[in-house]
Chains A and B, each alone.
Chain A
């Protein structure tokens, strides 16, 4: 039985600093979905996101002695965003439009799992909308994409996003504004899709 499961984050961090790998792996289990989803949205590719997530936790474990307390999730997400940026550079040619289709082939399954009672037609629409949005996100500059994903997709507050991005709240507001403006321009080509979605939501 793992004795670290019930411990609070700060206790696990302290144990990890003393070289307790089990304690750190409990933190990994707690935050891996969050980190992985950020990487998926930033990279648009499952394999790349997995690599970035793994590297994030390895880097975090190696650097945990330098963690001075505070928002551990924010610290992890900052590392994840940096790893994603590196991953994007490393495999720029590899992750082109083709891999997006591959990624969203499995999206319908994810939606189905989250809500089994949802009609298939609506599932298909949601999957199509998610694919369109992800495609649009990938057209944004990295800084704007990171801000939009953290605020609009993952639902973090501006202040926390500013901390993750190591910048001011004003800069985040500006990035969000420019990102949304760009998304509006990109998605104007799909008004029927948005119309359908809005009708569904309303």
Chain B
């Protein structure tokens, strides 16, 4: 039902526009023929056309007014001060309120931004540490035993009985009593995070909920700024128009 009404309304608007163009002789021959067909069929369109013609004719026949005096400029007129600009349609109080809102919004935006930045930085520091440790553990699980030993050796290179570490032909240091060495994997789990292998920084996985909390505040402040900017632009445009 509503769609039908909408279609009818659109059709009527289209015919109204066509009627305006017809009266102003701005239609192409094809459009004019179509409209004339429509006028012959529809009483509504015909009535619309008659009303539009009557208005146009009436407006065109309005008498021309003769000024009661000359508007020639004298040097005295040029010396007179220019009249005050017309008051804005927006009351002065509203303009001032808009400006005050703009300043308040800018200040609040700066403060909120600073707080948010501070919180985000703190949260990032905390989040950076935790996943790094977890990742180190899981990386160690994935590594082979040799690597684990190597890591262990690097972490705490044991000394031989004579004080010199023993070296294999291949290079890696072998402890004096490897069997007695503590369980490498378990120890690796307790290794300090700083000893995690040099790999690219892990991505922060914890969702940053603080950003979402700030969205309405930023939205409100942004809207206030847009409103104030609109008021300012409106007042500038008015003054510019007058100066022309």
Contact = CB atoms under 8 A, between A and B. Distances in A.
A89 B86 contact: yes
Nearest to B72: A25
A190 to B, nearest CB: 10
Interface in A146-202: 148, 151-153, 155, 158, 173, 176-177, 180-181, 183-184, 187-188, 194, 197-198, 201
Nearest to A195: B54
A50 B65 CA distance: 11
B54 A198 contact: yes
Interface string B69-109: 11111010110001101111100000000000000000000
A61 B242 contact: no
29 contacts: A21-B75, A28-B70, A29-B70, A32-B70, A32-B71, A36-B67, A37-B64, A50-B69, A53-B67, A53-B71, A57-B71, A59-B244, A86-B242, A89-B88, A89-B89, A90-B83, A110-B64, A110-B65, A114-B63, A129-B61, A153-B62, A158-B26, A180-B20, A181-B16, A184-B48, A184-B51, A184-B55, A194-B51, A198-B57
Interface of B: 16-17, 20-21, 24, 26, 48, 50-52, 54-73, 75, 77-78, 82-83, 85-89, 241-244
Interface of A: 21, 24-25, 28-29, 32-33, 35-37, 40-41, 46, 49-50, 53-55, 57-59, 61-63, 78-79, 82-83, 85-87, 89-90, 107, 110-111, 113-114, 126, 129-130, 133-134, 148, 151-153, 155, 158, 173, 176-177, 180-181, 183-184, 187-188, 194, 197-198, 201
